Structures are given as structure tokens and as C-alpha cells.
């Protein structure tokens, strides 16, 4: 009888040890801010530096065009949301500049041409049809985790782990990105409505539909 108990106990401890080896990591929600409604007018995707982002056309005449958008925190874990914008108009700075920030939602990020002119300190007449604004973001969670709008990727990573002689190759390095590219492609099927407000572009062009 004692032998049976001993064997049974050993089986229990072995089972617990095995389960510890295969324990899944604890999962949590990442940093994600989305549009409450799909801004007009969604024009599908645009590739920027190899990354597909959502694009919006707001009309070819800057004097009449505007972008209407409201954002929300669907997971309820965002402590701060910072937006940056880079323009392509003549004389625009090469680097993005700070646009808006908030620590509460819903958050209105709409703008008219006059708002962009004030932000960039240029006459509103500076903007022309075809000019574009690229919006990027930094999202900080309540636990301090920071997410940026750069897509996670490996820089200069080889296609194989070793060369022809079997020598190991440099594995490359993480690029510092924290967002999966799929999350930037909301609306790419027209009906998935992820509506990411993480990285997108707004252009002075007439909508195609």
C-alpha cells in the first residue's frame, strides 16, 4: 500500500513539473487606439517605406477640405496618446512634428487646412492639391509600456542562419518597432473595420468613389 502511495505521489509531482515546462505566458492587451467611425473618405492602402498604411482623400481643394475623426481606447489601458505629423508640401520640415496628445477618450483629432497651416506656421495658401500629411503615434499604457507606430521587423537579417561553409551569420537586429503591420491595415477588406488610429495618411485629392 505504501508503495502505491509513493508511486502516485511521484506521478503527481512529475505531472506538475511537466505542466510548468509548457505553461503559456500571461497575455495582456497591447497599445491600440482606433477611430470611433471610419473617416471620410477611405481610399484603401498606401505603401510607405515598405509598410502598408490606411490612406484618406479629403478633396483636392485645400480651402474646402477637412478631416473629421474621433478616436477611442477600446481596451481601456492607454495612459497617453501622442500624435505627430509630417507634411509633403513645399518647404515642409523633413521630420514629423508634435500635433496633439491626450490622456482621455474619446479624443477628437479633426482638422481643417487652417489648423495645419497654424501648426506648421505657414500661410494656408501654401497647401496644394496632391499635398499629404502622414500621422504617426506614440501610445503609453497605464503600466508604462510604450508602443510606437513603427512596424516590428528585423534589420538586415539574412535569409539563412549560416553561410555556404556552415559558419553562423549575423542574425540582424530588432528595429525597435512595436506594432504588427496587420494592425495598420484596418479597412483593407472594406469590412473588417479595425480602424487603426496609429499610422495613416491624409491627402488633398478627390475621392475615387
| DSSP characters over 136-201 | EEEEEETTS-EEESSBP-EET--SSSB-TTSPBPP--EE-S--B-GGGG-TTTTSS----B-SSEE
pLDDT attached to residue 20 = 54
State the cell numbers at 76: 481601456
Residue 209 lies in a domain: no
pLDDT along the chain (209 residues), means of 10: 46 51 59 91 89 94 97 96 98 97 98 98 98 97 93 79 80 82 67 83 93
Residue 65 lies in a domain: yes
pLDDT attached to residue 84 = 98
- DSSP secondary structure code for residue 90 in this structure: T
pLDDT attached to residue 90 = 96
Instruction: Indicate the number of domains in the chain.
Output: 1
Residue 36 lies in a domain: yes
Helix (H, G, I), strand (E, B) or coil at 85: strand
Residue 9 lies in a domain: no
Residue 20 lies in a domain: no
CA distance 202 to 86: 11
End-to-end Cα spacing for the chain: 81
Residue 8 lies in a domain: no
pLDDT attached to residue 155 = 76
pLDDT attached to residue 129 = 98
Residue 14 lies in a domain: no
pLDDT attached to residue 206 = 96
Residue 16 lies in a domain: no
**Structural domain boundaries, residue 143:** 28-203
CA distance 143 to 82: 16
pLDDT attached to residue 187 = 55
pLDDT attached to residue 16 = 55
pLDDT attached to residue 6 = 45
pTM assigned to the model: 0.80
What is the enclosing helix (H) or strand (E) of 53? strand 51-57
| Residue 65 near residue 41, CB atoms below 8 Å | no
Helix (H, G, I), strand (E, B) or coil at 16: helix
Instruction: Give CA separation, 163 vs 79, 155, 170, 172, 174, in Å.
Output: 46, 18, 10, 14, 21
Amino acid at each position: 500500500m505504501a508503495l502505491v502511495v509513493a508511486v502516485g505521489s511521484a506521478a503527481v509531482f512529475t505531472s506538475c513539473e511537466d505542466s510548468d515546462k509548457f505553461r503559456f505566458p500571461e497575455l495582456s492587451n497591447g497599445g491600440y487606439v482606433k477611430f470611433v467611425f471610419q473617416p471620410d473618405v477611405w481610399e484603401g492602402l498606401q505603401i510607405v517605406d515598405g509598410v502598408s498604411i490606411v490612406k484618406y482623400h479629403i478633396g483636392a481643394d485645400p480651402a474646402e477640405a477637412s478631416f473629421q475623426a474621433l478616436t477611442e481606447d477600446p481596451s481601456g489601458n492607454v495612459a497617453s496618446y501622442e500624435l505627430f505629423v509630417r507634411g509633403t508640401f513645399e518647404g515642409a520640415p523633413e521630420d514629423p512634428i508634435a500635433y496633439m496628445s491626450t490622456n482621455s477618450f474619446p479624443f477628437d483629432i479633426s482638422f481643417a487646412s487652417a489648423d495645419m497651416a497654424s501648426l506648421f506656421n505657414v500661410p494656408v495658401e501654401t497647401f496644394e492639391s496632391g499635398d499629404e500629411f502622414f500621422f504617426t503615434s506614440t501610445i503609453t499604457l497605464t503600466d508604462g509600456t510604450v508602443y510606437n507606430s513603427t512596424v516590428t521587423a528585423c534589420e538586415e537579417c539574412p535569409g539563412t542562419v549560416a553561410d555556404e561553409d556552415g559558419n553562423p551569420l549575423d542574425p540582424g537586429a530588432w528595429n525597435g518597432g512595436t506594432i504588427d503591420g496587420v494592425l495598420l491595415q484596418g479597412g483593407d477588406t472594406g469590412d473588417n473595420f479595425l480602424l487603426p488610429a496609429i499610422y495613416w495618411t491624409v491627402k488633398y485629392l478627390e475621392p475615387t468613389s
